[in-house]
Every structure is written in structure tokens, then in C-alpha cells.
Amino acid sequence: MKKFFAVAVKFILFNAVLAICLLGATGVLRNKEYEGAQDMFAKWKPEHADIVFIGNSHQFCTIDTDLLYSEYGIESFMLSSSAQTVPMSYYAAKEAIELRHPDVICFEVSYCANDFNTVKGMDHCFFDGFPNCKAKYEALNDLIDPEERIYFLLPLGIFHSRWKELTEEDYSGFPVSERGTYRMTNVYVNSEIPVVDEDDLYPVPGEMERYLRMMIDLCEEEDVKLILYAAPFNGQFPGEEGSIEDLKTRERIFNHVGVIAKECGVEYHNLFYELDELGIDNETDWADSQHFNCLGQVKMTRYMMDNGYLGY
């Protein structure tokens, strides 16, 4: 019997060391470029957040949470990742409430104009950094095909082949601040953004509207103030030809989001109609046709805070 226990202990020990090694390998190999600050949220020190920002890359390129703290004393976190769809953002809101119960959730609505649940391959940007909590498993069950879920629980199956492209950042971590702010430093000369009439509407795609309304209901139930806003942008996705018509359709959808917000009594700011007031310089403040660089980010953050668009 003694021998059996000795063997059992060695077996458990071996598997424990193996698990640690595999976790370490996962940490190094997973694609940090996409993850933003998701995994930092659970480790974030403050127990309560004044504001949690939710959305996709448009969100994390628009708001500087560190600036909100240093200039306004607002304790906030950027819980956004690249290509984070509206359903994902709904679960991110659940996670934010579950872990920090913020006073305000600020949701950037640009993905309301995308008629799909997930961007294939990009769903890892959201899930791989998502801390282990109830909301994560609900999101997995809801949004990911059953046969693919295993790769979200064991992401090494996806990222093991990244050994070919490891850089220094893979070992040192992705350069986001402790409040999840990511700053783009390159400069892109953007063109004028065409704007449609404010009454010009196009319906929000069905699934996106359903999850948007679920988020509104969730915040109401949990007594969290929800603020919606549309950050301005121009052009199409990188690598694709720009299409003015496509952008205009999206703007019409953002106008329809305003109708839904009004109907539900939720605060909404469509910044496409405040382009002049924003003070954005197309020569210096963009990182690409859709995202602000750190200069634009500072201007946008100050503008929204100074105008009371963030609930404070």
C-alpha cells in the first residue's frame, strides 16, 4: 500500500509539473497582439470601477483610461479587444459586473453594424484573455460551436505553431497599461469623413440588436448606468478597398442605434455629428483610417469627459 501511495504521489507530481509547463508554454505562445487587456482585468487591483469601457478596437483606440485617472481621478478599465462583437461585448459587460460592478459601462457601438456573431479566428482575441468566470463559460456555450470549444479551453491547440514567430513581446507581455489602455503611435493622414443625415436610418442587424437590448436590460437589472456612443472613423477594414457607401450604411445603422437608445431611455452620443467640436486633426491624430493614434485618443478622452459623456 505504501508503495502504491508513493507511486500515486509521484504520478500526481509529474502531472502537476507538466501542467505548469504547458500553462507556461501557452502563456508564451498565445497571440498577445489580439488580446488587449482582457486577462489583466481579473488581476486589476481596485475592487470597484467607476467606468468600464466595452467594445472593439475603436473603443480602445478612443479612450485613454490612464488619462482619466491622472487628470480626472476616474478609476476605469478598458475591457475591449480587437473584433469584439456585440454578443461578446454583452458577455464582457456581464463579466465587468460580476468582477467589479462599475457605476458606468460605456459601450462603443461600431460593431452593431456588423451582421455576424464572430469574426472567424478573431474570437480568440476575446476569449483567450477572458478571465475564468461564469460569464466566460456562458459566452462559450452561446457563441462557439461545440466542436471548437475545446480550443478555447486549451488554446495551445491553436497557438502552438506560433513558435516560428515569437518576439520579445511574447516573453515580456503586451504593452498595455495597468488600466488596459493601448496606445497606437503611428500616424496616418486620413480623409474627410462623409456624414449622412441624422434622420437617415438603416436597421441594426437582428442578432446585434438582440444582444444590444440584452445589454441594456442587464445594466438596468444590475443598476449600472449604460452609455452608448459611436466613435467616428473613415474607410473600410485594412487591406480592403474603401467604400463610401458601406460607411454611410454603417452611419445609418448608428443612427438607428440612437432610436433604440432613445426608446430604452439610454444615453447615446453619435460623435459623427460632432466632428468639428472634437478637434481631431486628420493630418496627425489617426493611426489608420479607422483608429485614433495616441494623440487622437487624448483629444477624444478629454472631449468626452469635459462634455459629461462618460457619466461623470
Partner 1 sequence: MLFNSLSFLIFFPVCLALYMVLPAKARTFILLAASIYFYMCWNPVYVLLLASSILVTYICALILPKCAGKTGSRRIVLACGLIINFGILFVFKYFNFFAETIAKVTGSTGLHLDLLLPVGISFYTFQAVGYLIDVYRGDEPEKNIFRYALFVSFFPQLVAGPIERSGNLLKQIRELDKRPLMNLDDFRKGAFIMLYGYFMKMVIADRAAMLVDTVYDVENYSQYKGFAVLLAAVLFSVQIYCDFAGYTYIAIGAARIMGFKLRENFNTPYLARGIRDFWDRWHISLTGWFRDYLYFPLGGSRKGRTRKYINILIIFLVSGLWHGASWHFVFWGFLHGILRVIEEIVSPIWNKFRSAASDVFFGGKEDDKTYGALSCILTFFIVTVCWMFFRAESIRQAFDLIVNMFSGFGLWQLTDGSLLMLGLDAKEMNVLIIGLIIMILVDRAKHKGVDVPAFFAERSEIVQAFILLIGILFIVIFGIYGMEYDAAAFIYFQF
> In the complex, which residues of this chain contact partner 1 (CB under 8 A)?
7, 10, 14, 17-18, 21-22, 25, 29, 148, 150-151, 156-158, 160-161, 163-164
CA–CA separation, 53 and 309 (whole Å): 13
Number of C-alpha atoms within 13 angstroms, CB side, residue 222? 22
* 69 vs 159 by CB, closer to partner 1: 159
- One-letter amino acid for residue 2 of the chain: K
* 22 vs 189 by CB, closer to partner 1: 22
CA–CA separation, 174 and 60 (whole Å): 14
* 116 vs 163 by CB, closer to partner 1: 163
* 8 vs 244 by CB, closer to partner 1: 8
Reading the block at residue 196, the C-alpha cell is 449622412
CA–CA separation, 167 and 194 (whole Å): 39
Q: How far is the CB of 13 from partner 1 (least distance, A)?
A: 8
Q: How far is the CB of 11 from partner 1 (least distance, A)?
A: 10
Helices (H) and strands (E) in the chain, counts: 15, 5
Q: How far is the CB of 117 from partner 1 (least distance, A)?
A: 17
Q: How far is the CB of 29 from partner 1 (least distance, A)?
A: 7
* 17 vs 189 by CB, closer to partner 1: 17
Q: How far is the CB of 14 from partner 1 (least distance, A)?
A: 5
Q: Count other C-beta atoms under 10 Å from residue 106's C-beta.
A: 27
Q: How far is the CB of 215 from partner 1 (least distance, A)?
A: 29
Rounded to 5°, angle at Cα 194 from 267 and 237: 85
**Residue 106: strand, helix, or coil:** strand
Q: How far is the CB of 257 from partner 1 (least distance, A)?
A: 34
CA dihedral 78→81→85→89, nearest 10 degrees, is -30
Reading the block at residue 167, the C-alpha cell is 518576439
8 A C-beta contact, residue 309 and residue 274: no
* 141 vs 186 by CB, closer to partner 1: 141
- DSSP type of residue 162: G
* 160 vs 262 by CB, closer to partner 1: 160
